[in-house]
Chain A
Amino acid sequence: MAEEKFDVVVVGAGPAGSVAARFAAENGASVLMLEREREPGIPVRCAEGVSHAGIAPFIEIDKRWIASTINVARLFSPNGEHAYMYNNGTGYVLERRLFDAALCEIACKKGAELRLRADAIDLVWENDQICGVKYRHQGEIKTVYCDIVIGADGVESRVGRWAGMKTAVMLEDIDTCYQYTLTNIDLQGDSVDFYFGNQISPGGYIWVFPKSQNTANVGIGISGHLAKNNPPKKLLDEFIGKHFPNAKKTYEVCGGVPTANTLKEIFRDRIMLVGDAARQVNPVTGGGIVQGMIAGSIAGKVAADAVKEKRFDKKFLKKYKKEWDKRLGHLQNLHYALKNKFFQLTDEKFNNIVEICKSIPPEKFTLKELFSSAVKGDPKLVAEIAKAFVVSKFK
């Protein structure tokens, strides 16, 4: 087989990788995506919630990949009370398998190549410089040469490690998650529900994201350092037994969600990391679809510019981190600090927060209103944390 060469090789065709490939391709670079699975978007390891505002800049909304439309979030305190939050704008629960495929199609239409069942296994080096990717494909080890590698290989990312970057996360900075898709349950259908409490889900929360009036993704995230004594599956099963005793499971999946800050190093000479691989995930909510897409768009454009200028050194690629910090990096910093406070709250404090939220009429529910109401309740801590949660939930 003739030696292959592309300007950019993207490892992973999830949302971050596909958007990176698309932006690189539409700005003139030749791009190859390597995807380990037989199609993009599988297996779905995701609660599938996003905001309209988050995805709209990247893709025309298509009902094919929307399971349900969300208008409100409900926060449940440990004592069973709940408060409504309306001010996040419209959200969706996606069909990720179809959504990821749609994003990947856009990249392909813009000129990117996609190679499936292509499992990246190492970087190729020449004179101490990255110059390609080695991958397993159809039983053979193959090599593709390139000027820039974009690592979009998810939570289990190894691309960064091969390049010498420190990508390991600490146990307290990863959530151990378990999720079922349940059917035969009774729902309003337009609200996403979050359940908090140290008995319910220590260091994390349980989510109920409806996919229709009687089906939902119901999952749990437990902070990694607490997972040994609080196995997520056990806690989730208890919750379901209590709240949805007649439920039937139609899908079962587990996985890890980074709740860290963005990695210190997300680029080097000839390489950039995006999405879960760069730990570009909201540390409070664990949401990472939109973050990954934004990072992908920045990295893809920077890669194309680098190709035009023939500048692949880290000095040039620094633009990627600079832009990321400006767009979301600073916010992630803040959320990371808040996460550590939020998930250390006692059940009593969770109850207080929900009480305060409840005292505000739903239609008047703004951050300002919450803030002024909170002043008379617990304290600035409450306001600070609730604000972070509301702002970040669907970002």
Chain B
Amino acid sequence: MKINMRKCDICGTCVAVCPVDAIYVSEYEVTIDNDKCISCLNCLIVCPAQAITEEE
């Protein structure tokens, strides 16, 4: 998964729905640990800013 930080509002909604604790929010950015990610797409679906895409 990939986060477009230009769109991201750093709201943390994605973290709440991540079943495997693969997303981390700091004061200024959100990062996804793709080694942990199971591609469930929960984060992509709930992101209110539509900032998350599936990485090719």
A165-178: CB near B (< 8 Å → 1, else 0) gives: 00111110010111
Nearest CB of B to A152, in Å: 13
Which of A52-60, A253-261, A367-375 forms contacts with chain B? A253-261
Residue A156 at the B interface, CB < 8 A? yes
Q: Is the CB of B46 within 8 A of A255?
A: no
- Known contacts being A119-B26, A169-B17, A256-B16, is A225 close to B49, with CB within 8 Å? no
Within residues 26 to 47 of chain B, which ones have a CB less than 8 A from any CB in chain A? 26-27, 42, 44-47
Nearest CB of A to B54, in Å: 13
- Known contacts being A36-B26, A168-B19, A169-B17, is A233 close to B48, with CB within 8 Å? yes
Partner of A36, one of B21, B27, B44, B50: B27
Give the CA-CA distance A356 to B45 in the complex, in Å. Answer: 36
Q: Is the CB of B16 within 8 A of A156?
A: yes
Q: Is the CB of A255 within 8 A of B17?
A: no
Residue of B nearest to A228 (CB): B45
Nearest CB of A to B43, in Å: 10
Q: Is the CB of B27 within 8 A of A158?
A: no
Residue A381 at the B interface, CB < 8 A? no
Give the CA-CA distance A255 to B46 in the complex, in Å. Answer: 9
Within residues 94 to 144 of chain A, which ones have a CB less than 8 A from any CB in chain B? 117, 119, 136
Q: Range of interface residues on chain A?
A: 20 to 34
Residue A224 at the B interface, CB < 8 A? yes
Q: Is the CB of A254 within 8 A of B42?
A: no
- Known contacts being A158-B24, A171-B45, is A253 close to B9, with CB within 8 Å? yes
Contacts across chains A and B counted by CB atoms under 8 Å:
84
A147-170: CB near B (< 8 Å → 1, else 0) gives: 000000011111001000001111
Nearest CB of A to B12, in Å: 3
Q: Is the CB of A177 within 8 A of B15?
A: no
Residue A45 at the B interface, CB < 8 A? yes
Residue B11 at the A interface, CB < 8 A? yes
Give the CA-CA distance A119 to B18 in the complex, in Å. Answer: 20
Q: Is the CB of A156 within 8 A of B12?
A: yes
Residue B13 at the A interface, CB < 8 A? yes
- Known contacts being A156-B12, A171-B17, is A256 close to B24, with CB within 8 Å? no
Q: Range of interface residues on chain B?
A: 20 to 34
Residue A237 at the B interface, CB < 8 A? no
Residue B25 at the A interface, CB < 8 A? yes
Residue A231 at the B interface, CB < 8 A? yes
Q: Is the CB of A225 within 8 A of B18?
A: no
**In the complex, what residues of A have CB within 8 A of residue B24's CB?**
158
**In the complex, what residues of A have CB within 8 A of residue B13's CB?**
155-156, 174, 176, 254-256
**In the complex, what residues of B have CB within 8 A of residue A345's CB?**
none
**In the complex, what residues of B have CB within 8 A of residue A232's CB?**
48
Residue A328 at the B interface, CB < 8 A? no
Nearest CB of A to B18, in Å: 6
- Known contacts being A174-B46, A176-B46, is A119 close to B27, with CB within 8 Å? yes
Nearest CB of A to B52, in Å: 11
Interface residues of A (CB under 8 A from B): 36-37, 45, 117, 119, 136, 154-158, 161, 167-171, 174, 176-178, 224-225, 227-228, 231-233, 253-256, 258
Given A45-B11, A168-B21, A256-B12, output 16 extra A-B contacts at Cβ < 8 Å: A37-B27, A119-B26, A155-B12, A155-B13, A157-B15, A168-B16, A169-B16, A170-B17, A176-B13, A224-B42, A227-B48, A232-B48, A233-B48, A255-B13, A256-B11, A256-B16
Q: Which 5 A-B pairs have the closest CB atoms?
A: A156-B12, A256-B13, A254-B48, A255-B11, A156-B15
Pairs A–B under 8 Å by Cβ, sample size 5: A154-B12, A155-B11, A168-B17, A169-B17, A174-B13
